[in-house]
Structure 1
Amino acid sequence: MAINVIPTDSTILTDSLLEIDETELEESAEQETSPEIIELKLPASICGERLDKALSKLIPQYSRGRIQKWIEDGFVTVDGEKSKIKTTMLGDELVVIKPQAAPDEGAFSPEDIPIQIVYEDESIMVINKPAGLVVHPAAGNWSGTLLNALLFHRPALVNLPRAGIVHRLDKDTSGLMVVAKTLTAQTELVRQLQARTVSREYYALVWGTPITSGTVDAAIARHNRDRLKMAVSYSVLAKPAVTHYQRVATGMLERFPVSLVSCKLETGRTHQIRVHMLSLGFPLVGDTLYGKQHLARFFHRQALQARKLGLVHPVSGDYVEWRIPLENDFADLLVQAGMQVPQ
């Protein structure tokens, strides 16, 4: 079997991962030092400065935000007393600082978290991510992620950017993801995602009855008021997003109509299906961020699963495809709505 080696452009790979992953990660650029106690005799030149500003000048290896956190938590004393961020310094004070580890320091540590491997060879893995598992460490989730699990089960992935992750699923979305095991495979998968040749099909249960089929071609950007949300936007910062959908079945949850919809993505923006279906007036069942809050009792998460994944194998060049059955909780929800569970 002939193997085509694809040249690796590390700049393209890094930039593309930031684009495709779509998660706004808070990555620290600070240089870590040992957590030894720091004692400072403040010079007269800082007279009139706030405590946090004075310290950020004297210990520039730490960000002001991190210093502020230490002051707030009582790890900084001025002449033996705890102080406040905005306290004005006069000079000649003795400041004692007990540096604390940043919450993200363990973000790339292996953790024994079970993962379901659907397929694996020497260059790629395809996994079935469960609902509730965050893909990549970020603010609020510095541990317990898919990345931590991958580093435990396949330690060699520590040598790849983001442990081989090239795309993501929302925390409460289940389903198929591909992970690269070599830099060559990762670069090729990123290029396929950029070229929109990776086939990704999701099943979603939505409130209401959309037309039989259609396409939503609407750019998406961060919501201008709620930073936790994304929204259809005409902003210059909005990124193109295209979703093709088809109604598969209809049913009822109590007296409310619902529809099972198959969604195929051309792009992979954050919350894309959730935002696009909402823009049509059909939010996902169980989606408390975008959906109907008063109907949250019907399902404990957004009813969304990445059910089919297809791509060109980065080594063989063959088109390969995987499909998984609906998760048990999703299948039970369809039965509750009077629908037949797709095979």
Structure 2
Amino acid sequence: MREESFEFLQTYLNNAAPTGFESSGQQLWLEYIKPYIDEYFVDTYGTVVGVINPEAEYKVVIEAHADEIAWFVNYITPEGYIYVRRNGGSDALIAPSKRVNIHTSKGTVKAVFGWPAIHVRKIEQDKAPTIETIFLDCGAANRQEVEDMGVHVGCVVTFDDELFVMNEKFYVGRALDNRIGGFMIAEVARLLKENKKKLPFGLYIVNAVQEEIGLRGAEMIAHRIKPNLAIITDVTHDTQSPMYEKKTNGDLHCGKGPVLTYGPAVQNNVLNMLIAVAQKNEIPFQRAAATRATGTDTDAFAYSSDGVASALISLPLKYMHTTVETVHKDDVENIIQLYYQFLLQLESGHDFRYMK
């Protein structure tokens, strides 16, 4: 990866942009992609769309989502401890002993998820942490001190963890789900521009908000763009580490290529074209099957308006919804290449319908 791209990836991932509060990350993404697009627009809730060939009638979307899971301040005790509720699929099990940032109008307040020591817990207390038992300590003696820091009910809380490279092969950190998707589609725009490739259709590079609480940003922007084709980027589970059941979760590996999903929301002619492109360009890929919905923004595009021909490209990821989400460098590069080669061979006006 070129140095400038990695610097952007690091800055973008390290920035906090939880569901409903994505604007700072969206601004970083927009500034990076601006040199590679013709124009852009944003919607009311913060989805950002970079457009190449905005005058074209045939519209193609490549999409990722920008939000990360987080917490909300929910209750402050008289003693100054803070109880939280989820913003997205945050896991109470991993919270104890983690450092966090509480985002306030006065700035960032540092805090920790406290937990009683093993020496003092009673047997009946020695259970897995739950949303009812985890709490934050920001060093305050009472509720008033907490409030004086700017902390109030509704403040959003993110883990204080940053990107690092492990064993020269893996990117590790929080929020790879799915800001690394935003990085990959931005890199596609860069390659098209720097290689002076002219597309015969309009390309809409979409970084959507609020996926983690129900695909909301994608629903809104799909109705606005009304594309002819949408290809969605998200992450999926690497199933090789302990505690995964391959019979139910599939047999997927970090480092063995993008995952292409079969399922009702995935339009088979689009999927088959992706497979053909991967095979022609010797891009390794894996296959997965979804029961009913994919659980990604693919569903929002596929079932919007009159129905959009949609497909899903997934990045294998270990330890989803933790602070050590892990992806293989090769998979990141291969997804970028799959997108790039797919777009170069796509003809404007291609009709993906099964029957004509």
Please, what TM-score do these two structures have when normalized by structure 1?
A: 0.28
Please, what TM-score do these two structures have when normalized by structure 2?
A: 0.27
Q: Which has the larger radius of gyration?
A: 1
Which structure has the highest helix share of the two? 2
Q: 1 or 2 for the larger relative contact order (CA 8 Å, sep ≥6)?
A: 2
